[in-house]
């Protein structure tokens, strides 16, 4: 881990893969308020231009704040809202959602949690006119599917306005009252250590949905590979299917294959 790798300057520490390098940047920012591109480039044995691309990508995902010559941790307590996330990587999330929606059959029962990618899933299911029963804690998901042939059940609970969703003990108790064919969730991060979430209260909802489903599926875009959110949701072994836009690589791919997770990639149309 970066916090314990105090190698002398100029030593060749070997080049990390992109996802691991970006994870190490986030770990470093947990220990200090600001990091410099030049120092990290030397530590990771890569060019400063490579580090700038890393930081630009992390800043685009609202995981860091870019600053002159480096980066700092995002403002305390800030995480991009649902509205902010909805405008990021739209094409990739739409492809993931279309691929995932194609796997849902008429008559199935499905739990869908709240998130920007699962809202796209709801749109895709509505477009396909999939006649299924959906249990969700997301108001946008419920509203999108409620106008079509799907039967929608909205969880009660504590309303979280920034996410247009409900959380809390009432939502969890409601979810525990059902057994469904599948759950389809999103997440803040996916690494070899498992699925994680940053939004307050969401991890507990996702965990309960996973427990109540026969088939457990994760929808996540590849920019979240190697990232870890605040709260742990599940081990990789708890998943059956991964829907994403790019095939994972390195240690994450090894972990997914070892757990026999079905990796389904929504390829870009050329």
Confidence bin at 9 (pLDDT 50/70/90): very low
Partnered with residue 109 across adjacent β-strands are: 133
Residue 165's beta-bridge partner residues? Answer: 138, 160
Predicted local confidence at residue 6, as pLDDT: 38
**pLDDT tier, 253 (very low <50, low <70, confident <90, very high otherwise):** very high
Q: Taking the domains of the chain in order of start, what are their residue ranges?
A: 2-72, 83-265
Tell me the average pLDDT across 222-245: 94
- Of the listed ranges 18-22, 72-76, 220-224, 257-261, the least confidently predicted one is 72-76
CA neighbor of 264 nearest in space, from 248, 250, 187, 255? 248
For residue 80, the model assigns a pLDDT of 60
Region 182-188: what's the mean pLDDT?
Answer: 97
Structural tokens at position 134: 């959906």
Structure confidence at residue 155 as a pLDDT band (50, 70, 90): very high
Q: Would you say domain 2-72 falls under CATH 3.30.1340.10?
A: no
The reported pLDDT for the residue numbered 30 is 67
- The pLDDT tens digits of the residues spanning 51-110 come to 888 888 887 766 777 877 788 766 544 456 666 666 667 889 999 999 999 999 999 999
Angstrom distances, CA of residue 36 to CA of 82, 104, 157 = 30, 47, 43
Residue 10 has pLDDT above 50, yes or no: no
Residue 195 phi, psi dihedral angles, 5° rounding: -95, 140
Per CATH, domain 83-265 is 1.20.1440.230: no
Model pLDDT, residue 84: 61
């Amino acid at each position: 881990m970066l916090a314990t790798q105090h190698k002398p300057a100029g030593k060749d520490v070997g080049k990390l893969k992109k996802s691991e390098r970006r994870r190490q940047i986030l770990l470093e920012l947990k220990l200090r308020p600001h990091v410099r591109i030049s120092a990290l480039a030397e530590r990771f044995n890569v060019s400063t231009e490579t580090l700038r691309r890393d930081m630009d990508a992390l800043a685009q995902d609202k995981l860091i704040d870019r600053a002159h010559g480096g980066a700092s941790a995002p403002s305390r307590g800030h995480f991009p809202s649902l509205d902010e996330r909805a405008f990021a990587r739209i094409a990739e999330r739409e492809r993931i959602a279309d691929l995932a929606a194609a796997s849902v059959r008429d008559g199935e029962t499905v739990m869908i949690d709240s998130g920007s990618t699962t809202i796209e899933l709801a749109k895709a299911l509505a477009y396909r006119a999939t006649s299924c029963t959906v249990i969700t804690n997301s108001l946008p998901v419920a509203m999108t599917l409620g106008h079509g042939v799907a039967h929608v059940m909205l969880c009660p609970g504590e309303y979280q306005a920034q996410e247009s969703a409900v959380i809390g003990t009432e939502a969890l108790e409601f979810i525990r009252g059902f057994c469904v064919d599948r759950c389809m969730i999103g997440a803040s991060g996916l690494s070899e250590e498992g699925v994680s979430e940053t939004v307050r209260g969401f991890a507990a909802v996702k965990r309960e949905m996973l427990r109540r489903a026969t088939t457990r599926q994760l929808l996540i875009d590849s920019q979240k590979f190697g990232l870890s959110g605040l709260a742990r949701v599940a081990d990789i072994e708890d998943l059956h299917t991964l829907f994403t836009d790019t095939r994972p690589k390195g240690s994450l791919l090894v972990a997914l294959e070892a757990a026999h997770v079905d990796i389904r990639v929504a390829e870009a149309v050329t």
